[in-house]
Amino acid sequence: MITNLFSIFDPSSAGGLRLRWSSTILWMIIIPPVYFLFPSRLTLTWQKIITYLFKEVSILLPVKNHHLIIIFLSLFMFILLNNRPGLLPHIFTASRHLVYTLRLALPIWLRYYLFGWTNKFKDIIAHLVPNSTPTVLIPFIVLIETISRLIRPLTLAVRLAANMIAGHLLIALLRNYATIFRSKIVVIVVSRQILLLVLETAVAVIQAYVFIVLRVLYVREI
């Protein structure tokens, strides 16, 4: 049971090939072309979500960085569409793997911090020491702020992966152990699974939104 529970996190498939990573682009094949041609409730919902995110990101980003809005919106859609399959049992989801989430978090952070340290060195150093900091505490504050900035990609990656793993494990455990309960209790377990599934759907959306907002705030500091 435990082996089956964690087998969905193994990217290897038949023959030892890591074909499960192809699930990251599977939604491009499943969604029919007609979806992009004719309006529907789903497309209207997507338009409202993207419009709201566009306004939010436009407010957070300075005007000089508005060319990055399309990147952040595309990243939000990519993360969200990769989080959704993980709500179904025994389906591999790449966003549960730290390697995958770290690849989403690291590139833009690394690019802008290298740019900041090479072209805006004084501004970066000034951000390490908050206003009205006692002189005695300045070395400790600089050390803490430096570490907090260096681990930002890791915290982003761990937050996304951990939240996607936790809910699915709860759903899988309830499903596996529901068979050993009495019939009356099974109804309660299934109802809790449905509520947990609704919650995990919200978590998938919220985590994609939090990921993007934090990325925008990190870029804004440069």
Q: Which residues contact 211 (CB under 8 A, 6 or more apart)?
A: 75, 76, 79, 104, 105, 156, 159, 160
**Over residues 194-204, mean pLDDT:** 81
- Please report the pLDDT score of residue 6 as a whole number: 59
User: What is the distance between the alpha carbons of residues 81 and 75, in angstroms, rounded to a whole number?
Assistant: 10
The answer on pLDDT for 9 being more than 70 is no
Sequential DSSP letters for 90-150: T---GGGSHHHHHHHHHHHHHHHHHHHHHH-HHHHHHHTS-TT--GGGHHHHHHHHHHHHH
- Please report the pLDDT score of residue 180 as a whole number: 65
- Please report the pLDDT score of residue 111 as a whole number: 83
Written as one letter, the residue type at 177 is: Y
Rounded to the nearest integer, the mean pLDDT of the chain is 77
The answer on pLDDT for 90 being more than 80 is no
User: What is the distance between the alpha carbons of residues 54 and 100, in angstroms, rounded to a whole number?
Assistant: 25
Residue with the larger pLDDT of the pair 157 and 5: 157
Read off the pTM: 0.79
pLDDT in tens, 26-38: 766 777 666 667 7
User: What is the distance between the alpha carbons of residues 215 and 38, in angstroms, rounded to a whole number?
Assistant: 33
Q: Which residues contact 50 (CB under 8 A, 6 or more apart)?
A: 73, 77
User: What is the distance between the alpha carbons of residues 134 and 131, in angstroms, rounded to a whole number?
Assistant: 9
Q: Which residues contact 89 (CB under 8 A, 6 or more apart)?
A: 171, 172, 175
User: What is the distance between the alpha carbons of residues 40 and 139, in angstroms, rounded to a whole number?
Assistant: 57
Q: How confident is the model at residue 2 (pLDDT cuts 50, 70, 90)?
A: very low
Identify the helix (H) or strand (E) that includes residue 135: none
> Helices 183-220 & 98-119, crossing angle to 10 degrees?
20
**Over residues 86-96, mean pLDDT:** 71
Q: Domain extents for the chain? A: 2-220
pLDDT in tens, 45-69: 888 888 888 988 888 888 877 888 8
**In a 3-state reduction of DSSP, which class is residue 120?**
coil
Written as one letter, the residue type at 152 is: R
